[in-house]
Amino acid sequence: MRLLVTGGAGYIGSVVAAQLVEAGHEVTVLDDLSTGHADAVPEGARFVEGSITEAGDALAGVEAVLHFAARSLVGESVEKPGLYWSHNLGGTLALLEAMHERGVRRIVFSSTAATYGEPERSPIVESDPTRPTNPYGASKLAVDTALTAYAGLRGLGAVSLRYFNVAGAYGRLRERHTVETHLIPNVLKVATGERESVSVFGTDYPTADGTCVRDYIHVSDLARAHLLALDAVTEGQHKIYNLGNGTGFSVQEVISVCREVTGHDIPAVVGPRRAGDPAVLVASSEKIQRELGWKAERASIRDIVADAWDALSGE
Ligand SMILES: NC(=O)c1ccc[n+]([C@@H]2O[C@H](COP(=O)([O-])OP(=O)(O)OC[C@H]3O[C@@H](n4cnc5c(N)ncnc54)[C@H](O)[C@@H]3O)[C@@H](O)[C@H]2O)c1
Ligand SMILES: O=c1ccn([C@@H]2O[C@H](COP(=O)(O)OP(=O)(O)O[C@H]3O[C@H](CO)[C@H](O)[C@H](O)[C@H]3O)[C@@H](O)[C@H]2O)c(=O)[nH]1
């Protein structure tokens, strides 16, 4: 298929773009490089530098869009909510209008566990309440709502994938955020000497060791789900799937695995809680397994950390 990948110079979008090229698709990447890197765009993909608000020309001849471009820092979204509403919701609405004008009727969208907010139960299923606790999650939920409306009103075919904690690397493609907030890359940067220690944000949560529990999914397994989602897009329907491994690991457990993998003692400094962090976020991915046949191949936390470490330390 002829595909447009927005945000394809970013961490997850570049891995999906690479897998799409490998599968024989004709890929155009549209990215404004606000947080991405031009050298992450895979060989074999066409690169257009620009914003999703001006997607017109990049959509020529395109059959489906995979939409990753977004602002995605929870803390920044609390400080600058307008930026998140305008980029994530406003930008996506502009993209949807441009798609409509060009007759592009299929989209796969990067949604997030942050749409659920503080969960009532674990693991989280797709029918659970969505009560986001920050503008980032709220803006992503608003896009999900818009996709449902466009499917009903205009016959758009949409699949939203609600990622939990994405980690690991795909060959050389790894997390390279200038402002890095995610746990695993920050812990590994201690092992490379880029940071002196890692902060543990709170040890008084109602979990076994007092630190937050998250569901880490390998970026390669996550990317593969997008290829399945693309095949599952049905015009007039909006389908939503969680994507995680169904197993939670605490911050302390992740740091221990990073110590084992790197052989570095990785000093950890206990600090206060980070605002807005739920204690436990674990996905039920039973729906995508049942309906699309998705199955994780690199589910172990050790493999996830080892691949991230190989990519980082190999540079
Ligand atoms: N990393 C995670 O754990 C995680 C979890 C849940 C959801 N997500 C979602 O997955 C998607 C990708 O996340 P990521 O971690 O790869 O982030 P990233 O910052 O590495 O990638 C985002 C890319 O989008 C580009 N971009 C941003 N705004 C743009 C715009 N207006 N026009 C064109 N390009 C633009 C950036 O330059 C960047 O290359 C995001 O939508 C994010 O909200 C990520
Ligand atoms: O230096 C750090 C970084 C993180 N943490 C902790 O590690 C856990 C994981 O934090 P991340 O920042 O790696 O990931 P989040 O769970 O905050 O965020 C992820 O899940 C969110 C859903 O709530 C969004 O989807 C978001 O895009 C996605 O990255 C959290 O308990 C956090 O407090 C630390 O202790 N120290």
* Architecture of the structural domain at 2-166+217-243: 3-Layer(aba) Sandwich (3.40)
What DSSP designation does 244 have? S
Q: What pLDDT was estimated at residue 275?
A: 87
When pLDDT is averaged across residues 251-279 and rounded to a whole number, the result is 96
Ligand 1, atom nearest to 91 Cα: 31
State the catalytic residue, choosing from 11, 116, 136, 216. 136
pLDDT band, residue 314 (cuts 50/70/90): confident
What pLDDT, in 10s, does the model give residues 183-192? 999 999 999 9
Asked, colleague to colleague, whether 2-166+217-243 and 169-214+246-314 share their fold, the answer is: no
pLDDT in tens, 157-179: 999 999 999 999 999 999 998 88
* CA 185 to centroid of chain Cα atoms: 15
Distance, CA 182 to ligand 2 centroid (Å)? 5
Number of neighbouring beta carbons within 10 Å of residue 118: 14
ipTM summary value: 0.97
For the domain made up of 169-214+246-314, the CATH class stated in words is alpha beta
Q: Is 274 in the pocket of ligand 2 (CB under 6 A)?
A: yes
Q: Report the separation in Å between the CA atom of 12 and the middle of ligand 1, taken as the mean of its atom positions.
A: 7
Proportion of the chain above pLDDT 70, given as a percent: 100
Q: Is the CB of 134 under 6 A from ligand 2?
A: no
pLDDT of residue 25: 98
pLDDT at site 315: 79
Q: Tell me, what's the pLDDT at 266? A: 98
Distance CA 57, CA 217 (A): 34
Among 167, 256, 162, smallest CA distance to 211 is for 256
Q: 276 pLDDT band (50/70/90 cuts)?
A: confident
Ligand 2 atom closest to 212 (CA): 31
pLDDT in tens, 72-83: 999 899 999 999
pLDDT band (50, 70, 90) for residue 214: very high
Ligand nearest to the CA of 175: 1
- Catalytic annotation present for 136: yes
Indicate the pLDDT class of residue 197, thresholds 50, 70 and 90: very high
> What is the domain partition of the chain in residue ranges?
2-166+217-243, 169-214+246-314
Residue 270 sits at φ, ψ, to 5 deg, of: -75, 130
Determine the residue type at 172. R
- Residue closest by Cα to atom 21 of ligand 2: 114
Among the bound ligands, name the one nearest to the CA of residue 114: 2
